[in-house]
Amino acid sequence: MPRKQPPELGPDSTGADEPSADPRPGARFAGAGLDDFEALADHVTEVTRGVMMGRPMLRFEGTMIACLDDGMLGIRLGQGSAAFAEAMELPGATRFAPGRGSKEFKDWAAIPAALSGEWAYFVAAAIEAHRA
C-alpha cells in the first residue's frame, strides 16, 4: 500500500505532565501526541472523532479503529495482517493495552507519539482492512 503524505506535525504541547489542565475531550488519558492526533483526525477525512473509555479515538463507519492512550496510538490493523507485522517492527511499538494494563487488544498495534509521522499510513491501512 503506498504511503499517504502525513499531516504537518509540530511539537506536541498537550500538557502531559498536567493532563487535567487540557480541556480537550480525552486529554486526561491521551498523554503525549494529542496535538498530532488532532492533526491526523483533520487529515483523514473518512473518520469521525469521539471519546471511548475517556480517551480520544477515531471511528470509521461506526467502528473504533484508533485510540490515543498515554502517548501511544492504538490502531486496529488485524493481528495476522502485513500492516500489523509492519507496525510491530517499529521502535517502541507494542500491542495496544489501554491504561497500560494487562488486557491487550489482539488485533491492535500501539505506535508511540514519537513516531506520529507513521500514524496516517497505519490508519489508512486500518480503514482498508475494515472495508475488506
Lowest mean pLDDT, pick from 41-55, 97-111, 114-128: 97-111
Q: Is residue 122 part of a domain?
A: yes
d(CA 86, CA 63): 22
Cβ atoms of 73 and 37 within 8 Å: the answer is yes
Q: So what's the pLDDT on residue 25?
A: 67
Q: Is residue 19 part of a domain?
A: no
Q: Is residue 10 part of a domain?
A: no
Q: Is residue 7 part of a domain?
A: no
Tell me if residue 26 falls in helix, strand or coil.
Answer: coil
Is pTM, for the whole model, over 0.75? yes
Q: So what's the pLDDT on residue 23?
A: 77
Q: Is residue 11 part of a domain?
A: no
Q: Is residue 73 part of a domain?
A: yes
CA-based nearest residue to 72, from 46, 47, 91: 91
Q: How many domains does the chain have?
A: 1
Q: What is the CATH number of the domain that holds 30?
A: 3.90.1150
Q: So what's the pLDDT on residue 14?
A: 40
| Averaged pLDDT for residues 46-60 | 92
Q: Is residue 15 part of a domain?
A: no
61 by Cβ neighbours in 10 Å (0-12 / 13-18 / 19+) ranks as exposed
Three-state helix/strand/coil letters over the chain: CCCCCCCCCCCCCCCCCCHHHCCCCCHHHHCCCHHHHHHHHHHCCCCEEEEECCEEEEEECCEEEEEEECCEEEEECCCCCHHHHHHHCCCCCEEECHHHCCCCEEEEEEEEHHHHHHHHHHHHHHHHHHHC
Structural domain boundaries, residue 76: 24-131
| Averaged pLDDT for residues 23-36 | 74
Q: Is residue 83 part of a domain?
A: yes
